[in-house]
Amino acid sequence: MKAFIAFGLLILISLLGSRFLFKRKKVFNPLYYFILSGLLYIFLGVFLGKHYLNVLSPDVLKGLYPLISFGLGWIGFLFGFQLEVKYLRRFSRKFIALSFLQFLLVFLVVGASSSFVLRWIFPSQPLSILYGLAVALGLLGTLSSPTLLNYASTRIPKKGDYYYLARFLVSVSGFWGIIGLAVISSFWHFPLLERIILGKGLILFLSLFLFAALFGFIFHFLTVKRVSEQDLFVILLSAVFFGSGAAFYFNLPPLCVCMVMGIVFSNLTKRHEKIYPLLLSSEKPFYILFLILSGALWEPRFDDKIAILVGCLLILRPLGFSLPLRALGRLLDFSFLLPYRLGLCFLSPGGIAVAFAVSLKLMYAFPLADTFVSVALLAIIITEFISPWTMKISLFALESER
């Protein structure tokens, strides 16, 4: 009965909150943006969780795990649906190469540094767990969200090369990070934390993509005929429910499975003009619902070890995004200069990073998983608050100078 009450309360909050989320105003204020970004709902989830009101108690949350998996799947599907080949072909191949090299360098900088820090502050933990967490922190550091750029776009005086490059990079950067999540979920899986079996990892990795691609095709086939918008929306919801539920059952990340489904479906369908409005209209309430449940899952704590790891992320991410840009621009022979400060406009992690952290929490039940979630959410919240300032320093200034 308590689960039904909690579910009804969540639906009510998400419907009311979606009326005020992501509304564009003329004021570009960091505090105002932070409120509209939706991350405050994480704190509401903490307040509704076991430490305060206990509406979302551990037993209730366990019953709502399918809903959390659906939230992960919905975020993955929305992200994958935007990766249409027609859209990507509008940009130079140099842009794709830059996005991958940028991902690789940030991953190496954050991951390698985190491995040393983790071994220093957790000397008694098995190395397999510490290296796995270092990889997870490295992948988390690569994730950027287009939400801030969307919010800031009307305030950029001249949209030139820097803007379109940034637009492309934040749109595809999550792809590499989510693929990385698929890798660690395949090769660092179930209780096999002491040793990695290559054969089983490859089977899981390939199965994830084949399964997702197959069902992306099946649900595309269901929409080939002209169906009403209501039927189309039901089919899309069913696709995400099925994909995320099956992924959760096999302990695979719904974020990855549904992203692949979204990519396949987007590149097969010809009904984008009807599907995009349906996805956008449902995005806000589902996102709020997911953020509240993420907050309830969080075991908030803050100590010196968490402070060190959060500090590492806050320092290493800007360095990884900024310092290599000029060298990468020369390597790829860009026609315009890529200054260091352009990297500061990629710091907003957004909901895709929250989904990444929650995915790891659901897949792996070991003590340091809660530490990882605390580090991830604290770093995301702090970075999301300061990223409008870094956007002003980087993209606003660069475009006004051109």
Contacts of 155 (CB under 8 A, 6+ apart): 28, 396
Unique residue bearing structure tokens 């999550």: 174
The number of residues making up the chain comes to: 402
The 10s digit of each residue's pLDDT in 55-89 is 888 888 888 888 889 899 999 998 998 888 888 88
Q: Report the distance separating Cα 53 and Cα 181, nearest Å.
A: 33
Residues 149-172 have a mean pLDDT of 84
Contacts of 47 (CB under 8 A, 6+ apart): 53, 295
Tokens of 45: 């989830």
SS3 of residue 85 by DSSP: helix
The 10s digit of each residue's pLDDT in 262-316 is 999 889 888 777 777 777 777 778 888 888 889 989 988 888 999 999 999 999 9
Burial class (CB in 10 A: 0-12, 13-18, 19+), 318: buried
Using alpha carbons only, what angle is made at residue 346 by residues 345 and 349, rounded to the nearest 5 degrees? 125
Unique residue bearing structure tokens 């530490």: 371
Q: How confident is the model at residue 202 (pLDDT cuts 50, 70, 90)?
A: confident
pLDDT of 238 > 90? The answer is: no
Q: How confident is the model at residue 192 (pLDDT cuts 50, 70, 90)?
A: very low
Please choose, from the candidates 175, 177, 170, 194, the residue with its C-alpha nearest in 3D space to the C-alpha of residue 138. Answer: 177
pLDDT of 327 > 80? The answer is: yes
pLDDT at residue 99, as a whole number: 93
pLDDT at residue 6, as a whole number: 66
pLDDT of 261 > 50? The answer is: yes
pLDDT at residue 5, as a whole number: 66
Cα-only R_g, the chain = 20
Contact 353, 134 (CB under 8 A): no
Contacts of 321 (CB under 8 A, 6+ apart): 102, 106, 343, 344, 346, 347
Amino acid letter for position 328: L
Domain ranges for the chain: 30-401
Indicate the class that CATH gives domain 30-401. mainly alpha
Q: Report the distance separating Cα 81 and Cα 104, nearest Å.
A: 23
Burial class (CB in 10 A: 0-12, 13-18, 19+), 228: exposed
SS3 of residue 339 by DSSP: coil
Backbone phi, then psi, for 49, in 5-degree steps? -80, -170
Q: Report the distance separating Cα 372 and Cα 137, nearest Å.
A: 8
pTM value is 0.91
Backbone phi, then psi, for 56, in 5-degree steps? -100, 70
DSSP H helical ranges for 143-271 = 147-152, 161-187, 198-222, 229-249, 254-268
Q: Report the distance separating Cα 13 and Cα 38, nearest Å.
A: 12
3-state SS of 121-178? Answer: HCCCCCHHHHHHHHHHHHHHHHCCCCHHHHHHHHHCCCCCHHHHHHHHHHHHHHHHHH
DSSP H helical ranges for 25-83 = 30-37, 40-48, 58-63, 65-81
